Amino acid sequence: MALSLSEIKSKNKSAGQHFFDRGNPKVEAKYGNYLVTKGMGEGYVIYFFQESNAHISLVENPNGEYSWQPYNSKAEAIKYAKELAR
């Protein structure tokens, strides 16, 4: 069962991680343990929260590439995050 965003924040901080620190993009949407945020510019990115170690990692886009802005729109990113969370 996926954790709430508050639980994810707490666990991430307790593990000494800084994903939710001030200055980082806020989470725009959450599906399961997948988080959609604004990228560095106009795009959006998806991250995955690993419950075992509280780390948050960048998710590959559908083409198998890592990118800080693989989705041009929030709707695109949300659609893929929903697919991943199934």
* Strands, E assignment, the chain: 27-31, 34-38, 44-50, 55-58
Average pLDDT for 42-63 = 89
- pLDDT at residue 59 greater than cutoff 80: yes
- pLDDT above 70 covers what percent of the chain? 94
CA count, 13 A, side-chain hemisphere, 76: 12
Give the range of the structural domain holding residue 18, as residue numbers without chain letter: 5-85
- Domains identified in the chain, total number: 1
pLDDT on residue 41: 77
The residues, ordered by sequence, that sit 6+ positions from 5 with a Cβ below 8 Å of its Cβ are 27, 30, 35
